[in-house]
Amino acid sequence: MSIYALGDMHLSFLQEGKIGKPMDVFGSHWRNHYAQIEQNWRACVQKEDIVLLPGDFSWAMHLEETKYDFAFLHALPGKKILVRGNHDYWWQSLKKMRSFLPPNTEILQNNCICTKQWAICGTRGWLNPENKSFLSEDLHIYKRELQRLELSLQEGQKSGRPILCMLHYPPFGDRGEESGFVQLLLQYGVKKCIYGHFHGPGELASPQNKMLDYLLVSCDQNRFCPQWIAQD
C-alpha cells in the first residue's frame, strides 16, 4: 500500500461535467485540469492506497456547494485525507463536515490519522512572521495554527509511529528561514513534510533547514499527478 499526495486541486463542479471556475485563466497547462487529475490518479492510485490533499480542494464558498467536487473525488480510488487551504471557505465544523463527506474521506484538524506504518498529522499553517506580506492581524491566526499543529503532533507521538506531516502553507518563509512550524516539526521528530499553496517557478526559496524532507505537491507543480510519498 502506498501514500500519495496532491495539493491545490481547485475544483469547481456546478454539476457533473460542468465547471464553474475554469483554471486555464492561470495558464494553458490548467486547461481541463480535472480531467488530467482523473487520468493520472487512476493510472497510479489503487483502492487500498491513501492520498493526502493539503488544501485548496474546492473554490466553493459553502459546504453544500462542494457536492459535485466531493462526488468527483469519491469516484477516484483510495482513501483521502484533507487539511484546509486558504481558499477552502466551505470548511465548517468537524461535525458538519464529517456528516457531509463521502465515505473513505477524512478531515485532519487538531487530530492524527494513523495508517499501518505512519501517523498523519497536520494543519493549514500560515504565513511566516518574517514574510513581507505578514500583517499584524495575521499573528492571531499564526499562533492558532501553531496550537493546532501541536495538538495533532501530540496525538501522532502517542501512536508510536513515525510522523508524516501535511500543511497547506510551507513551514518556512520567503527566504527559506524557519518558522515556528519548523521548530514544532523538529521537536516532535518529524522527518517528512508535504505542503502546497505555491504555483509556478521561482515563487519560493529553498528551505534553510535541511533536517526535514520537504515536498511541494501543488498539482500543477506535479503535472496534475498524485506524487508518491511513502510506502505504508
Q: What pLDDT, on the 0 to 100 scale, is given for residue 26? A: 83
Residue type, 16: E
Does position 67 have pLDDT exceeding 70, yes or no? yes
- Which whole number is the average pLDDT over 19-25? 83
**Is 209's pLDDT higher than 80?**
no
Start-to-end CA distance of the chain, whole Å, equals 5
Q: How many domains does the chain have?
A: 1
pTM: 0.94
- In the block, which residue shows the cell 491566526? 141
Question: Residue 195: pLDDT above 70?
Answer: yes
Position 203 pLDDT exceeds 60: no
User: The domain that contains 159 carries what CATH number?
Assistant: 3.60.21.10
Give the three cell numbers for residue 65: 456547494
Domain span at residue 92 reads: 2-231
**Residue range 165-177, pLDDT digits in tens:** 999 999 987 777 8
In tens, the pLDDT along 115-151 reads 999 999 999 999 999 888 889 999 999 999 999 999 9
Q: Which residues, 6+ apart, have CB-to-CB distance to 183 below 8 Å?
A: none
SS3 228: strand
